[in-house]
């Protein structure tokens, strides 16, 4: 299986690749720029070169880059929307240094404009920044539905995809904590939830998994991640997700509250379930 966690991008790609190997991972996630700011680190071609070699040697799965939290394609203010569009356009350009990976983002918060308007603005932005030549697949993340988050259910994600012109460039990242918090009972009804995903969005659009336990009950709309087995989804529930045949082969990314040792342990644990 492909499993990894979020790594710090501050020392560049080669350092992330090395770190992933040290943790027992064979994929990883990273913020394309300061997650709460917006500044991007300069890309050093020699560093990328080194990483691409390692990626091949180690047979890494697809990387799942993460957009910064400050990006909101459906903000109410035009200048924030423009800022966000510039950010995603620039990120997608940078992603081409490491071709063929995934770029995951939170669809956005409609901040009182209503989900429908949010959906329209997000799709409109994607139609401006997606290009036929790009090798990256952009992933909409399933959201917990806190505040005015768009993507609180499968229907909202489908509605965004429906409005996108270059549909082969978009997919979905299934965040177990968010889906659970959003009201999908993956503990008692995993098969049904995946069936529903298939019916509404299509499992062919499910490219990656954010593998997190949740501190809160199903339907709580809170979004507080817990370590694997320490939350309300629990060890058995998490195990069932990671071993589900319909999810096998996808990159699983841990976004659990851990230090390096904790990630190493969780990666080994999940591997022991599936390998």
Q: Name the site residues for Zn ion (rule: CB under 5 A).
A: 223
What residue 94 binds from Fe ion, Zn ion, none (CB within 5 to 8 A, per partner kind)? none
The one of Zn ion, Fe ion, none whose footprint includes residue 210, by CB under 5 to 8 A per kind, is: Fe ion
Label the pairing between strands 108-109 and 149-150: antiparallel
Residues forming the site for Fe ion (CB under 5 A)? 141, 175, 210
Task: Indicate the residue among 156 and 223 with the shorter CB distance to Zn ion.
Answer: 223
Tokens of 96: 């081409």
- Counting Cα atoms < 13 Å in the Cβ hemisphere of 266 gives 27
Instruction: Indicate the residue among 13 and 103 with the shorter CB distance to Fe ion.
Output: 103
89 Cβ contact list (under 8 Å, min separation 6): 128, 129
CB of 49 to Fe ion, least distance (A): 29
Q: How far is the CB of 54 from Fe ion (least distance, A)?
A: 25
| Least distance CB 149 / Fe ion (angstroms) | 11
Chosen from Zn ion, Fe ion, none, partner binding at 6 (C-beta under 5 to 8 Å by type):
none
Q: What angle do CA 71, 73, 78 make, to 5 degrees?
A: 105
Write the DSSP symbol of residue 249: T
Nearer to Fe ion, 141 or 213 (CB): 141
Strand partners, 252: 3, 209
List, in order, residues 6 or more apart from 85 with CB less than 8 Å away.
73, 125, 128, 129
> Cβ 57 to Fe ion, closest distance in Å?
28
CB of 224 to Fe ion, least distance (A): 12
Task: Name the residue with tokens 């995603």.
Answer: 88
Q: Of all residues in this chain, which one has the CB nearest to Fe ion in the complex?
A: 210
Residue 223 binding result from Fe ion, Zn ion, none, given CB thresholds of 5 to 8 Å by partner type? Zn ion
């Amino acid at each position: 299986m492909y499993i990894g966690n979020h790594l710090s991008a501050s020392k560049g790609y080669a350092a992330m690749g090395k770190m992933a190997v040290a943790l027992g991972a064979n994929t990883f996630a990273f913020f394309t720029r300061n997650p709460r700011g917006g500044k991007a680190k300069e890309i050093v071609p020699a560093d990328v070169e080194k990483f691409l070699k390692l990626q091949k040697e180690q047979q890494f799965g697809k990387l799942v880059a993460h957009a910064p939290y400050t990006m909101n394609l459906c903000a109410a203010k035009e200048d924030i929307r423009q800022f966000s569009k510039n950010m995603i356009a620039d990120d997608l350009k940078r992603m081409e240094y490491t071709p063929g990976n995934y770029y995951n983002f939170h669809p956005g918060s409609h901040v009182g404009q209503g989900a429908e308007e949010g959906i329209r603005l997000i799709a409109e932005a994607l139609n401006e920044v997606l290009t036929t030549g790009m090798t990256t697949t952009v992933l909409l993340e399933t959201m917990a539905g806190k505040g005015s988050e768009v993507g609180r259910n499968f229907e909202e994600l489908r509605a965004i995809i429906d409005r996108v012109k270059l549909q082969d460039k978009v997919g979905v990242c299934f965040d177990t904590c968010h889906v659970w918090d959003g009201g999908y009972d993956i503990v008692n009804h995993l098969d049904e939830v995946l069936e529903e995903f298939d019916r509404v969005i299509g499992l062919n659009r499910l490219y990656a998994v954010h593998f997190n336990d949740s501190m809160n009950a199903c339907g709580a709309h809170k979004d507080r991640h817990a370590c694997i087995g320490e939350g309300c989804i629990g060890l058995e529930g998490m195990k069932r997700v990671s071993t589900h045949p319909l999810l096998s082969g996808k990159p699983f990314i841990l976004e659990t509250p851990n230090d390096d040792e904790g990630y190493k342990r969780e990666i080994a644990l999940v591997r022991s379930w599936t390998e």
